[in-house]
Structure 1
Amino acid sequence: MDNGLVHEESAFINLRRYLPDPKEHGHRWVDIKQLRFAAESVNDRGLLAALIDHEQFQDDYAGGGVLSEGLRHGPYWLRLITPDLYEPISQGKVVQILREWVDPLGDLPAGLEADLQREVFARLASADGIYYLSGLGDEAIHDWGRVHDYFHEFVLIDRSAGRITLIVAADD
């Protein structure tokens, strides 16, 4: 247990596995980390702070994986990420962002659509709170953080299930 959150499971969707011409889409993927929290947990900002402090958040998403003493989170310096940088966002807007990012033409292979539905969209539908990491400027980008062309991060809070889900959709 770490800051009241317990890592339950992770999932990884590699888009190259589904798309007819993977070179057209680069190395796009979606990483999902699900953590459990106690029903009496604090407000959403408190849960976001606990997530940021959790070891599972210390992931550079560039092949290094979760590092217990990590300094980076995706393209950003970990120390610069705060709960205040997460803005509430609607389920519809998240779906729009992800669908446009996955394939601007909107023609997804059935297997990819099924995996996204199960791992991302179903979780979105049951979330009480949805947050989008934004507001980080160039000063927050770490020394090799520009390996990602796109980096979308969403946090879903499902109080009835006692789960917080971190979804990162990016490329490298």
Structure 2
Amino acid sequence: MGTTLVHEGTAFVNFRDHTFADRHAHAYRWVDVKRFRLPSGDVADRDLLAALVAHEQFRDDYAGGGVDPGGTRHGPYRLHLVTPDAYRRIDRERASDLLRTWAEQHGPVPGTLAEALRREVLDALADADAVHHLDGLGEDEYHDWASVHGEFHELVLVDRRAGRLALLVAADD
């Protein structure tokens, strides 16, 4: 039997819920965090990524429809083309820089948003012993309406001490 992840919950940080100095700076940006409990035992990261990609919660187009158990899309990508090989391991500093650059692309984020990002994203990133970035796919793997996303950043955080895996999607549409 393969590795199984148990979905424990989701957090959603919507930039529109915060007041920016420039009222257009939120640019329809958001971060979706799906949390999973790791299986017991020593499971390789590649097997955890395979379990994540196979999980029902991964079948999300991130375009307002939510999780679709029979779905064929994952963000802008055709689901069947997202495999563990599409992820690259990166260090926490690089992942943090990626997220901060994306979040601050229109200027500093307001304090309430910075706190929400710290609580839901950056703390989990700081605790992760492995970070995997979905960057092995490109436009050839896009589905028919993938252009709805202006930017799409995906990180998988593995925290073995806490027994948790987090799927972070930061995007704008």
TM-score category (smaller protein)? over 0.9
Q: Residue 55 of structure 1 aligns to which amino acid in structure 2?
A: E
Q: Which residue of 2 aligns with 1:4?
A: 4
Question: 1:155 deviation in Å?
Answer: 0.1
Question: 1:5 deviation in Å?
Answer: 0.8
Q: What is the TM-score when the length of structure 2 is the normalising length?
A: 0.94
* C-alpha distance in structure 2 between counterparts of 1:24 and 1:104, whole Å: 9
Q: Which residue of 2 aligns with 1:80?
A: 81
Question: 1:19 deviation in Å?
Answer: 3.6
Question: 1:58 deviation in Å?
Answer: 0.3
Moved over 6 A (4+): none
Q: What are the equivalent positions in structure 2 for 1:30-45 lying under 5 Å apart? A: 30-45=31-46
Unaligned runs of 5+ in 1: none
Question: 1:139 deviation in Å?
Answer: 1.5
Question: 1:153 deviation in Å?
Answer: 0.1
Answer yes or no: is the 8 Å Cα contact 2:89–2:131 preserved in 1.
Answer: yes
* C-alpha distance in structure 2 between counterparts of 1:41 and 1:6, whole Å: 16
Tell me whether 1:18 sits opposite 2:31 in the alignment: no
2:109 is paired with a residue whose SS is coil
Instruction: Count residues with an aligned counterpart.
Output: 171
Answer yes or no: is the 8 Å Cα contact 2:88–2:134 preserved in 1.
Answer: yes
* C-alpha distance in structure 1 between counterparts of 2:107 and 2:118, whole Å: 14
* C-alpha distance in structure 2 between counterparts of 1:105 and 1:28, whole Å: 11
- Pair 1:76–1:171, CA change in 2 (3 A): same
Q: Which residue of 1 aligns with 2:28?
A: 27
Unaligned runs of 5+ in 2: none
* C-alpha distance in structure 1 between counterparts of 2:141 and 2:23, whole Å: 30
Question: 1:107 deviation in Å?
Answer: 2.0
Question: 1:25 deviation in Å?
Answer: 3.4
Share of identical aligned residues, percent?
A: 51
Q: Which residue of 1 aligns with 2:68?
A: 67
Q: Which residue of 1 aligns with 2:149?
A: 148
Answer yes or no: is the 8 Å Cα contact 2:25–2:106 preserved in 1.
Answer: no
Q: Which residue of 1 aligns with 2:52?
A: 51
Q: What is the TM-score when the length of structure 1 is the normalising length?
A: 0.94
Q: Which residue of 1 aligns with 2:99?
A: 98
RMSD: 1.5
* C-alpha distance in structure 1 between counterparts of 2:71 and 2:3, whole Å: 17
Question: 1:96 deviation in Å?
Answer: 1.0
* C-alpha distance in structure 2 between counterparts of 1:108 and 1:60, whole Å: 26
* C-alpha distance in structure 1 between counterparts of 2:84 and 2:94, whole Å: 20
Question: 1:41 deviation in Å?
Answer: 4.6
Answer yes or no: is the 8 Å Cα contact 1:4–1:38 preserved in 2.
Answer: yes
* C-alpha distance in structure 1 between counterparts of 2:23 and 2:42, whole Å: 42
2:143 is paired with a residue whose SS is coil
Question: 1:108 deviation in Å?
Answer: 2.0
* C-alpha distance in structure 2 between counterparts of 1:22 and 1:144, whole Å: 28
Q: Residue 89 of structure 1 aligns to which amino acid in structure 2?
A: I
Question: 1:132 deviation in Å?
Answer: 0.3
